[in-house]
Amino acid sequence: MTSTRATLLQVAERAGVSLASTSRALHGTGASPAMVERVRAAAAELGYSADAIGRSLRLKKTFQVAFAVADIGNPVYVEMMRAIHEVLAPHGYRVVVMSTGDTARSTTELVRSLNSGFVDGMIVSPLRTDDRLIEEIQQAPVPVVVIGRALDDRGISSVSTDSAGGIGAAVRHLHSLGRRRVGFLNGPLDTTPGAARQRGFDAATETTVFDRTDQEVAADFTVTAGLEAARRLLARGRLDALVAANDLLAIGAIRAVRETGLSVPGDVAITGMDDTELGQVFQPSLTSVSLGSTERGRAAARIMLRLADDPDHAAQQVAVGPELRVRESTGGAQ
């Protein structure tokens, strides 16, 4: 930690050649074999390795991509981050994690910070969106890929999924099991996912007929909030099926159901959404609608690679379909 890092100029002096030749020799283009040999040796002796900042300044490229979400601890985002990292790292890109905060305003601020040019692009999954944010994304100086709503009409690259359709699949699954009194446990309606899932439930219960439907909104998408909201829901009348807007809410709901002395899935069948590992290892294992977090993360990262390579490339859209994974919490196998 005492010795200072070697610079390219020092390597050049040691090799007794010019700075230009040294750079070429190391970067591998247009240098004679003798030169390459000579410079390599000098570089090795000094333990040289190129300074990322100097290179970035000259190249106007940071080899960094930001990944921004409201809550880094959320299992869904963790999965995405892992996938993004796995795709980007082999291409020499680093991943910078950032927090959007949970308002559209704070997210807008974050997007604006791209102006300081510390990354080559940003993958963001906004919890809440408004027109200001959309505009800011459109004007961003580097490519931005949105994971969430499809935004093709606004010329923004996005990776979307049909969570409304996913809720529909869950509703039909429960109906096909003979359940006729279904409850819906949603998260905040002013969030992008909350709004979409609400649309999904409304649409599904319009075409599929139940004897009774009811719903309740949790304070946020967590187990605790799910537990409390489910208690309120169950207190209002008997249900035999419950659709939760994500796995954490579903787990809270399972606890609430059991508190009342009822069993899952015997008395109440429950579905989650996101297909998290948590839901998979839970007992009972959770029937859940996979929204392909890993796949969405990968898709976003691949779009980013293309855009980072060619910033003038047209915006790209990818849609990942939802997929129902039937497990114990609705009486499925395993």
Partner DNA sequence: AATCCGATTGGAAACGTTTCCACCCCAAGA
Partner DNA sequence: TCTTGGGGTGGAAACGTTTCCAATCGGATT
Q: Which is nearer to its own copies, 25 or 315 (CB)?
A: 315
Among positions 13, 46, 55, 224, the unique one binding DNA when judged by CB under 7 A: 55
Task: Using CB under 8 A, list all residues that contact its own copies.
Answer: 1, 3-5, 47, 49-54, 56-57, 62, 64, 72-73, 78-79, 81-82, 85, 89, 94-99, 113, 115-118, 138-143, 223, 248, 251-252, 254-255, 258, 277-278, 281-283, 311
Residues 237/241/246/249 CA torsion (nearest 10 deg): 40
Task: Report 163-202 residues binding DNA (CB under 7 A).
Answer: none
Task: Report 285-324 residues binding DNA (CB under 7 A).
Answer: none
Q: Select from DNA, its own copies, none the partner in contact with residue 148, using the beta carbon and a kind-dependent cut-off of 5 to 8 Å.
A: none
Rg (CA), the chain: 26
For 225, residues 6+ apart whose C-beta sits below 8 A from its C-beta are 187, 218, 219, 249, 252
Count how many Cα atoms sit within 13 Å of the Cα of residue 247 in the half-sphere of its side chain. Answer: 24
Among positions 1, 3, 58, 334, the unique one binding DNA when judged by CB under 7 A: 58
Q: Which is nearer to its own copies, 95 or 304 (CB)?
A: 95
Q: What's the CA gap between 307 and 312, in Å, rounded?
A: 7
Q: Which is nearer to its own copies, 10 or 56 (CB)?
A: 56
Residue 131 touches DNA, criterion: CB under 7 A: no
Q: Select from DNA, its own copies, none the partner in contact with residue 237, using the beta carbon and a kind-dependent cut-off of 5 to 8 Å.
A: none
The mark string for 23-52 relative to DNA (x by CB under 7 A, - otherwise) is xxxxx--xxx-xx------------x-xx-
Q: Residue 184, SS3?
A: strand
Closest CB 72 distance from its own copies, rounded Å: 5
Q: Select from DNA, its own copies, none the partner in contact with residue 19, using the beta carbon and a kind-dependent cut-off of 5 to 8 Å.
A: DNA
Closest CB 332 distance from its own copies, rounded Å: 17
Q: Which is nearer to its own copies, 67 or 201 (CB)?
A: 67
Residue 217's beta-bridge partner residues?
186
Beta strands in the chain (DSSP E): 64-69, 94-99, 121-125, 144-148, 157-161, 181-186, 212-217, 241-244, 269-273, 287-290, 317-320, 323-325
Q: What's the CA gap between 305 and 61, in Å, rounded?
A: 13
Residue at 79: amino acid letter: E
* CA angle (34, 36, 38) in 5-degree steps: 70
